[in-house]
Amino acid sequence: MVIPIVDIFAGPGGLGEGFSAFINEENEHPFRIALSIEKDPLAHQTLRLRSFFRQFPHSEVPEDYYKFVRGNISIDELYRRWPEQAEHSAAEAWCGTLGDPDEQDMNAISDSEVDERIRTVLNGERNWVLIGGPPCQAYSIAGRSRRQEKILNEQTDKRVGLYKQYLRILAVHSPAIFVMENVKGILSAETSENQVFTKILNDLSDPASSYLSESENDTATIQYPSYRIYSLVNPPDRIDLYGNPEYKHKKFIIKAENHGVPQTRHRVILLGIRSDIDIPPGVIPPRPEIPVADVLTGLPSLRSGLSKSKDDFTSWVAALNDILSNGSLDGADAAVINHIRSNFKEIAEPASGTGGDFLPFKETAVNYQEKWYLDNRIGGVLNHASRTHMQSDLHRYLFASTFGKVKGISPKLCDFPVKLLPAHGNVKQGVEEQKFADRFRVQLAEKASKTITSHISKDGHYYIHPDPAQCRSLTVREAARLQTFPDNYFFCGPKTSQFHQVGNAVPPLLAWQIAGIVNKVFERALAHIHEDLRV
């Protein structure tokens, strides 16, 4: 039995990748992506390319795919050489905007178009899974703080109500199971009318009633499903008289570092099971925390680029060395200063320079989940190019990474020498009140990284590499490894978009574990059906 997946708000496909990669005890892939929808054209390119990749058994991916990711042929040429698989990937990965898009949005798709496509790909199958994460910027605590919003307004910010697209598809198409992901800030978000998460839980439990109360559609098409909503990491606090599980809201939070993801990513993930499938799921078992070094080890060392000046190794070393002579370290911890001095005696030019979208490299390795990450057919590393930085930021990165190596913690602004503090209006507040005091954060080698978010697309200040000798922020590939994307997962578009895609994704290795829970529910449901038939 192959279970179709419909993935909405798909991004570059992290959630779908985990389901697609899952293999059951019979050594079969029980899940198949039937349709994925993403509005961003560049993320959609990544999504479609991965769909193309998955048309082949892993050992039979054509060499032309690797020629493309190495930059030897264009993506159009790749698809021209493999027309059947290209056509399938174009049908599976749909570039479109759900909900109530702006009038000028050329990718806007209507509800009727979505419904027709879903019915077509499902072809009458009722045992299928809806997955996805409605855009979360409206709910994030950091975003609300920046916008100084205590109460969300659905009229002025359409993102607040985008979960209703998820709700509408549940109401109209009745998947057997759904998985919905969002930021943990959704637990505290409020509108003028209600506490957002409480309303979402109620709506998802009875999507048809909630949808019909706001819809003018033909009610004859509605199948009136109801759902029991489960946590994937905690048993219910209680079961009500109708068999519905109840939880304290915080128990829906999954802490990724507790489940084999080398990142302290905390997200709300809901598992909904249609009420006619009376099978409580299990929970994802805990795993040991995976440190940053385990997944970054084995990638080629790079130096950062220099912006606003000549960019070569000699100029780069001179720019770094200036920190020792311009007074920037006055007042710094003596052990940190001594480590920086000794580091310059040993610094050597990285063979790979500042990297690239494809970097030939024969010895790529990883100290964790080798079969998951590595693909020796690549012949190198993808999406592994360093950013360029101003000399002043290089000095801050050098100080922060050295401080982390010496002290085992990332420095706060109050730990920085005065001359290294940035000329930002709220720096004094950061030093004295510890507000946003970790805006320059090194990811410590011996611990899981902090959350990789879409903000990494704007600057690398929060994502400083742990090795002072490289003195830079993380590359797209390093961020992707912390997100548990396989090395052969190629991110399309310019570097800014690549970072944005990686930061917005669900870690595929976490999604793989969720797929295992979902698969067991289907297996038990099928076993019950066979049992009833024997009776």
pLDDT tens, position by position, 116-147 = 999 999 999 999 999 998 875 544 444 434 44
Q: Are residues 355 and 209 in the same domain?
A: no
Residue owning tokens 């002043």: 392
Write out the two tokens for 401.
């990474």
Helices vs strands, H then E, count in the chain? 19, 16
Least confident interval from 106-120, 128-142, 284-298, 497-511: 128-142
Q: What's the confidence (pLDDT) of residue 422?
A: 82
Q: Is 346 exposed, middle or buried (0-12, 13-18, 19+ CB in 10 A)?
A: exposed
Residues 303 and 281 in one domain: no
- Verify that 218 and 330 share a domain, yes or no: no
Q: Looking at the structure, do residues 304 and 411 belong to the same domain, yes or no?
A: yes
The DSSP letter of residue 417 is -
Q: Are 138 and 176 in contact (CB under 8 A)?
A: no
Domain that holds residue 62: 3-290+507-534
pLDDT > 90? residue 99: no
Distance (Å) of CA 51 to CA 88, 300, 366, 463, 479: 8, 28, 25, 30, 21
Nearest CA among 270, 327, 252, 29 for reference residue 130: 270
Based on the domain organization, do 286 and 297 belong to the same domain?
no
Residue the block writes with tokens 């396989």: 486
Q: What is the pTM (predicted TM-score) of this model?
A: 0.92
Q: Is residue 190's pLDDT more than 90?
A: no
**Where does the pLDDT of residue 526 fall: very low under 50, low under 70, confident under 90, or very high at 90 and above?**
confident
Of residues 247 and 308, the one with the higher pLDDT is 247
> Is 18 in the same domain as 54?
yes
Percent helix, strand, coil in the chain, to 5, is 40, 15, 45
Cβ(307)–Cβ(472) below 8 Å: no
Q: Are residues 379 and 485 in the same domain?
A: yes
Across 340-359, average pLDDT:
90
Quick: pLDDT tens for 149-189. 454 445 444 544 678 888 899 999 999 999 999 988 888 76
Same domain membership, residue 202 and residue 340 = no
How high is the pLDDT of residue 115? 95
What interhelical angle do 41-54 and 495-504 show, nearest 10? Answer: 70
> Given phi > 0 = left and psi -120 to 50 = alpha, else beta, which region is 107?
alpha
Query: Residue 146: its pLDDT value, please?
Result: 47
CA distance 141 to 188: 8
List the alpha helices (DSSP H) in 148-257. 163-173, 196-205, 207-212
One domain for residues 511 and 395: no
* Nearest of 234, 277, 302, 230 to residue 471 by alpha carbon: 302
Give the DSSP letter string of 301-358. Answer: P-PPEESSS--SHHHHHHHHHGGGTSSTTTT--HHHHHHHHHHHHH----TTTTEEEE
Q: What's the pLDDT score for residue 79?
A: 98
pLDDT for 428: 56
Q: pLDDT digit string (tens) for 360-396?
A: 998 899 999 999 999 999 999 999 999 999 999 999 9
Q: Total structural domains in the chain?
A: 2
Same domain, 48 and 99: yes
Do residues 371 and 244 both lie within one domain? no
Task: Report the distance separating Cα 62 and Cα 17, nearest Å.
Answer: 19
Q: Which of 444, 405, 412 is nearest to 427 (CA)?
A: 412
The reply to whether 212 and 360 lie within a common domain is: no
**CATH code of 283's domain:** 3.40.50.150
What is the predicted pLDDT for the residue at 155? Answer: 46
* Residue environment code for 82-91, b if the CB has 16+ CB neighbours within 10 A, otherwise e: beebbeebee
Contact call for residues 246 and 239 (beta carbons, < 8 A): yes
Cβ density class 446-471: b for 16+ within 10 Å, e for less:
ebbbbbbbbbbbeebbbbbbbbbbbb
Distances (CA, A) of 121 to 24, 89, 91, 308: 23, 13, 9, 52
Over pLDDT 70: what percentage of the chain?
Answer: 86
